[in-house]
Structure 1
Amino acid sequence: MTQQEKAARFQALHAGPGCFVIPNPWDTGSARMLAGLGFQALATSSAASAVAMGRKDGGLTRDEALAHARMIVEATELPVSADLEKGFGERPEDVAETVRRAAESGLVGCTIEDTTGKPEAPLFEFSLAVERIAAGAQVARGLGFPFFLTARTHNLLFANPSLDETIRRLRAFEQAGAEVLFAPGLPDLEAVRTVCSAVSKPFNFMAGIPGKSFSVPELAAAGVRRVSLATSLYRAAMTAFLDAARAVKDSGDLGFIDRTVNTSELYKLMGL
């Protein structure tokens, strides 16, 4: 399937009706298994990608992140969007270059956030944050196929969170050309409904924060169009891995073997 065909499929998912889940694989095998389970699109997670390579979140270079994203793209026929953090630079020009290279990597979308990585000033100043999204959107519009730039504000994850400021940023990102809007950390379904009703572009809800994650039907009823899982699946896999490894090391218990999935089932899901 060509990149243009994948982009058209991705566009159709965002057009609805209803809500779709975009899970986050961390390697070729997990991508193929998710495709085998019937998911219709995939997204990378910056944290899962980094940890799977023995790094902290934010520890990959642009080249490394895009090489990893290409691996996920080539694993299946599904459309793939990538979490590209703050765009690997502070300037609008950096974001534009990242979007251009994301498209060259076979991606049909990417997420750019407004975090600086600086504890003393964790968010880009409002006007710069908007200019960064506008620069990325300008590149996306010139690609010749639908490329879904997702604009993400982290306002709710830092001190003095404000739902009003979150909405102000999301509306500005929408006006700047973002095709999908994203605000991790919404505290409850009422906040989700408020944000979804405040914007006209599809809203992506990030599941994975304990106490701030809700069922897909609840999110769909609140107006969410896309649900991403962030590092949740990776953490679930690693939880099982650590539980089993600790049991073997601490007591010699091999009971986990009777609870594991048969290798032949994994092969089947991966189309092997």
Structure 2
Amino acid sequence: MTEIRRSVADKRRAFHQLHQAGCFAIPNPWDIGSARFLQNLGFKALATTSSGFAWSQGRPDVPGSRDAALAHLREMVAASDLPLNADFENGYARDAAGVAESVRLAVETGVAGLSIEDSTGDAATPLYPIDTAVERMRAARQAIDKAGGDTLLVGRAECFFVGRPDIDETIARLRAYAQAGADCLYAPGIRTREHIAAVVAAVAPKPLNLLIGSASELTMADVASLGVRRVSVGGALARTAWGGFMRAARLIAEEGKFDGLANAASGAELDAFFRDDLAKRSAP
């Protein structure tokens, strides 16, 4: 792999600066190639996607091993000069001490930020009790501070994602996570302007990450006007790529037709892009 020119400290410093003002998109690549392509489009930061990575490994979007997640983070940090935010699921541990150890290991990969969810993975009790969730967030904060404090911590309230679309509970959880040390707050699943504006106001002055994971009438200008600081797309780019692949493959398998290849990217264009990208990275 060719050399990355920006140090981890530089990436983390730039990432914190992005959260100070304005609104930026933080798209979610799932491998080295998609990360490099997004960097060359001019984005200022990237975020991993647990679902996109899982599908690329032939797994459903359920937590895999912590070792596999850490290896993926190291690969993605090394793939780009941009700050990388880790989709770090629920910290790969149930208790606060385990979360702290997982966060310590994640910080060592060089990520500029990481998120900790309050979901349990148990359908019967999908969210940790708020006291437990706050304890876990404090443990993540302490682990980051012990490592130097420059990795940005994102607190996620998963209420809307686990079938509890209660905006009041979501806001209460996000406020608690902010007080526990989260630098940025995130409530995946909120979609309406009213909910977005309410959450922005509730967590201010801390920044809010908004997920737009499907076609939406909202634009970057719209969400910026609502006070959102950053916008991610989760596994949507990976799903878009898979959608084209699945349609084309099914046409061949089921109808013997090759019409699905009509919108394929040009091999010459891809080769030219990656050739130029490699040359830039290899230049002294």
Band of TM-score, shorter chain: over 0.9
Which amino acid in the other structure matches residue 17 of structure 2?
A: A
| Residues in 1 aligned to 2:83 and 2:229: alpha-carbon distance in whole angstroms | 16
Match of 2:69 among 65, 68, 75: 65
**Among 52, 55, 61, which residue is 2:56 paired with?**
52
- Deviation at residue 266 of structure 1 after TM alignment: 2.1
1:48 positional shift: 1.0
Aligned AA for 1:201? K
The alpha-carbon distance between structure 1 residues 128 and 119, as it changes in their structure 2 partners (threshold 3 A), is same
Partner of 1:194: 198
Secondary structure at the counterpart of residue 259 of structure 1: coil
- Mapped to 1, the partners of 2:92 and 2:51 lie a distance apart of 15
Alignment of 1:100-119 (within 5 A): 100-119=104-123
> Conserved in 1, the CA contact under 8 Å of 2:63 and 2:89?
no
Matching residue's letter, 2:181 = G
Matched, 1:156 2:183: no
Any idea what SS the aligned residue of 1:238 has? helix
State whether residues 156 and 186 of structure 2, in contact with CA within 8 Å, keep that contact through their aligned partners in structure 1.
yes
- Please state if 1:146 is matched with 2:182: no
Residue 240 of structure 1: aligned partner:
244
- The residue number in structure 2 matching 1:30 is 34
Aligned length: 270
The residue aligned with 1:223 is: 227
Q: Measure, in 2, the Cα distance between the counterparts of 1:253 and 1:15.
A: 51
CA distance in 1, matches of 2:8, 2:251: 45
Task: Identify which of 79, 82, 86 aligns with 1:82.
Answer: 86
C-alpha distance in structure 2 between counterparts of 1:48 and 1:238, whole Å: 10
In the TM superposition, structure 1's runs of 4+ consecutive aligned residues that sit over 4 Å from their partners are none
Gaps of 5+ in 2: 1-5, 279-284
Supply the distance in 1 between the matched residues of 2:96 and 2:149 (Cα, whole angstroms).
Answer: 22
Q: Note the residue ranges of structure 1 that are not aligned, 5 or more in a row.
A: none
Cα offset, 1:85, TM superposition: 0.7
Cα shift at 1:63:
0.6
Amino acid at match of 2:81: E
Paired position in structure 2 for 1:129: 133
Residue type at the aligned position of 1:203: L
Q: Which residue of 1 aligns with 2:188?
A: 184
Q: What SS is found at the alignment partner of 2:19?
A: helix
| TM-score after normalising by structure 2 | 0.90
- Equivalent runs, 1:247-258 vs 2, <5 Å: 247-258=251-262
> Are residues 1:174 and 2:140 paired?
no
Match of 2:16 among 11, 29, 34: 11
Separation of aligned partners in 2, 1:218 and 1:29: 30
Instruction: Tell me if the contact between 2:212 and 2:233 (Cα under 8 Å) persists in the aligned partners.
Output: yes
- In structure 2, distance between residues paired with 1:38 and 1:65: 26
